[in-house]
Structures are given as C-alpha cells and as structure tokens.
Structure 1
Amino acid sequence: MNGKIIPAKQTKVSVYDIGLLRGLGVFEVVIAYGKHPFLLKEHLRRLRASAHYLGLHVPVSDKQIYITILKLLSKLREPQALVRIVLTGGEAIHGIDFNPCQPTFFIVVEKVFKIPAQNYEQGAKLITFNYRRENPCIKHLNYREAARLQKAKNKAGAIEILYVSGGSVYEGATSNFFILKGNRLITPKDGVLIGVTRGLILKLARGKFKIEERLLKFSELKSADESFITLTTKEIVPVVKINNLKIGKGIIGPRTKYLMNKFKQYARSG
C-alpha cells in the first residue's frame, strides 16, 4: 500500500480519504492463474483511462505494478488469486477537493471466491433490476446498487443482477451480458462498462459467430437460444433462467460450451 507490502489487516486508510467521503476513486480486479496476472495490460489500460477521466494520477508505472503483483502472489501461493487494484484521490481538502499528486493507491491479493460448480454444469439464474450504471465509461467505486441488491439476489437463488431500463437489457451488476440466436452473438455496447473479459470473448468468437454489438431489447430474451455472462473472476457463466423466463431449452447450449472451452484454452495457455 502506497509503496509498502504489509498484511491486509494492518493497512489503514485515512477517514478523510476522498474515496470514502465522496466516492472519488477507480479500481480494477484481475485474475491470476498461478503467477500470471491474466490480461493485466488491458486492465491497466482501463485503470489509467478511468483515472484520467476523474483527474486522478496512477503513481507508479505498469512495470512496477506488475512486479508488485508478482511479489504478492508469491506470498499467497494459490493456484488462482484475485488481484484488486484501487486508486483514490487521497486525503480530501476541505472535504471536497483533492491533490492528484498525493493519491491513495493499493494492491490486494486474495483467494478467489468460487460459485458452486453446478452453475457451470447446469446453468445459472439471473434476476433483473431497473437501473443503468452511472458513468459506464469508467470503472469507479460506486457499486451501491450492486451491493444493496445482494440479499435479494441470494434470496432468489440467482448469481447475478441484470440491469434493464426502458425495455432494454444493459449489463450485469458486475458482468457483461450475451445472448445467442442461432449463429448470432449479441451483446449490448452503449451504456455499459466494456469489460476486459467481454473483449476477449468477442476476439475468440470472431470467425465462428456473427457478432452484433447493439441495443438489446428485453423482449428478445424470449427468442434467445442461449445466454451467458462474462466477468474476470468467473470467466463465462452460462445462464438458463432470467427471473421466471427460461432461456432456450433451459440447458447450456453447444455454442456457449464452445466459448467456455475456447476461453479456458486461451487462459491456461498464457
């Protein structure tokens, strides 16, 4: 944290930190396979773009971040690890202003929380909520609605909340959303946070599927053959039910399985 490696329980953030007082901050979550932080370059590119948007300054180089992550991974010694990179504006000035040259910056490495295997083997459920992400062009600290809705999600036996608004489907609270109609792979593009894993899926799908990045109407879910979500910590999770709506035949489809296998091959080859 701020240049020092210390146990997480010994870290301290000022009560005057503007990230706490005003929510001014950005972050990235990276998955590490062994000692390899997966797609780190893409995550850091988005981190810097998000920071720039908010007038924040990342105080170290990408190379320094990479070296620090490797040091932290060597201490955790897990086959998979979650790497959380957080940047705030540092201590607030008069409660509202900040000095971009004195940020709070830390990297935390921890064990990965894994959802039950049945979600990958039988498919998962989502529930919808009428909401659109604020400032979807950046990955900022405001996940208020996602956090507030966790109890409802768990009560419904779902693994994710799907944001919808005005008759359209946008994204998951922490994920990107896809449907398959025949050989067409459809995913929203405008008004969503463009995920790093989403980008890789589109890359892997090119040449195999017809890709459509566009507005997705909620009514289209009724005619979808398959569906899935993508996120850094859970890769591709097949979706077979949204609220009470069964997607396709209610089972994991062959095209989703194809992409799941392609992703695993790519991720493990690095």
Structure 2
Amino acid sequence: MSTHCKKAVQKASALMCVYLLVGMAHGATSYTFTANGGASGDWNSAMNWSPSTGYPGSGDTAIIPNGKTCLVEQSNQTCSTVNINSGGILLVKGRDLAIESEMQINGDLQFKSVNNVPGRILKSSAITLSGAGLVDARAANSLGRGEFNGSGGYLTIGSDLTVTGSIDFNCSINVNGTIKADGTDTMNVGVTRHASVNGQGNFIADGESEIAFLDADLTPGFTTTRKLWVKAGTIRLSSTADCNNAIWWIVIDGGGKFVVETDALFVSALTFSSGKIRVAAEKTFVVDPEP
C-alpha cells in the first residue's frame, strides 16, 4: 500500500473515532438532581446534577429526588422524561420546559409567573403526565400562573394525578385524573389555541374559583362517569365552546354557578341540589340523557 493510501486510511479511521465519540457524548443520559449538596438549585447548572458532566437536555431523563427543589428559572429547558419522586419539587418559574415524552409526578410540579410571564410546559407531540402527585399553581401557595401549550396530540393526565390552581390549557387534554380550581384561582381551556377535551376524569370548581371553557371542544369521548362538578365556584361555557352532544355528567351541589354562553346539548345526567344555572340570552341549554 502506498504512503498516500496509508495516510488516507489513517485519516478515515481517526474521523470515524471522532464521530463515534461525538455520538457517545450525545447519547441519552439519566441525570439525578443533587442541588450540589443543598436543598434547591437551578436546572441550568451541571454542578446540580449527577453525573455532573452536564444537565438534562433533549433525549435525556431528569430525576428529582425526595427533599430536592429543582428550579427552571435561569433559562428555558428541554427534556425527554422527567421523574419527580415523592417529596421532590420541580418549580417552573417564568420559563418554558419542553417535554418530549412524559412526566412521572409523585412529588410536586409547581408553576409561578415572573413579570406576568407564566411558567409553561410545552409539547410538540402527545405526552403523558402520570403518578400520584400534584400539579400546583394555587395563589394560596404563592404560586401561579401556569400553562400547558402545544400541538401534536393530547396531553394525558393520569388517573391518580391532581392538577390545581391558576392554569391555562392551550392544548388538547385527555383528563383521567382531577383538574380542580379552588380559592380565587382561574383556569382557562383554549385561550390561544383550540383544545379538545376528552378522558374519564373530573373538572371541579370550588371556593371563588372559575373554570372557563373558551375555544374548547367538549364533545370527544363516550364515558358517562366524567364530571363537570360545580361546588362553590363557577364553571363557564363561553360562546366559543363546542358542547353539542357532550357526554359530561353535570353536578351542581355546593352553591356555585354553571354559566352557559353557547348553545349546549349534554346527553348525560345533571345532578342539582344547590347552586345556580345561568343561560345567556338567545342561547339554549339542553340536558337529554341517552337511555
């Protein structure tokens, strides 16, 4: 083999090694949040994670263990999978956290706005939130406002998960758990993006809170056990909500208000014991349960 050929082979081999090393460096990594030995710290610091060679990004997994509070505050972040263990807290504070796959929430996912900019979870495909923890944006806890935003399939909320506080849902949601507004909190479904609403779970309005369905479609799905449940708060179906042949059990039992600003036909039951139903002028509200 000529000297020229030998050099070419050596160069090609060296390049191949570089490519392999780069590929290994960018492989998916599982990071555990350590807060550098403290109780809390920002996502955007390699010293707060183990391994400390970096911090979670696209394709990676982030684990928030018991006793640790991870802040998404310094910059926007992206991650494939986030696991918040019992006793762990992930606080998204005026920034965006883009999720590529799922969140396992057995601790707390918290939202807080900064200069009127909400903490946001972004999605570009279907993602799942599971676990037995809490998504919290309650003003009573000095939290809120939060937002879920994105396209490309449903945001699925698992059956054991509770979502509460001042939150906007600007994405389609598959609710199998509980979405609850309490105190003075307000929830909006379909503010800047159309939202289809499906699932087997419940929307609950209590305290002085309001849940408003704006550019929202309540018609998907066939289960008869899911509820629009008015306790002491308000559930409002705005003029842009689609409620034609909607299969949601309406429960009004705590003195609150069910406000209808659109033509609505519900084909599940209505249970009424204490509260008010208000229907806007020239609109119809029909409850006609299927046999």
Q: TM class by shorter-chain length?
A: under 0.3
Looking at secondary structure, tell me which structure has more strand per residue: 2
Looking at secondary structure, tell me which structure has more helix per residue: 1
Compute the TM-score of the two structures, normalised by the length of structure 2: 0.24
Which has the greater radius of gyration? 2
Compute the TM-score of the two structures, normalised by the length of structure 1: 0.25
Structure ranking higher on relative contact order (CA contacts 8 Å, 6+ apart): 1
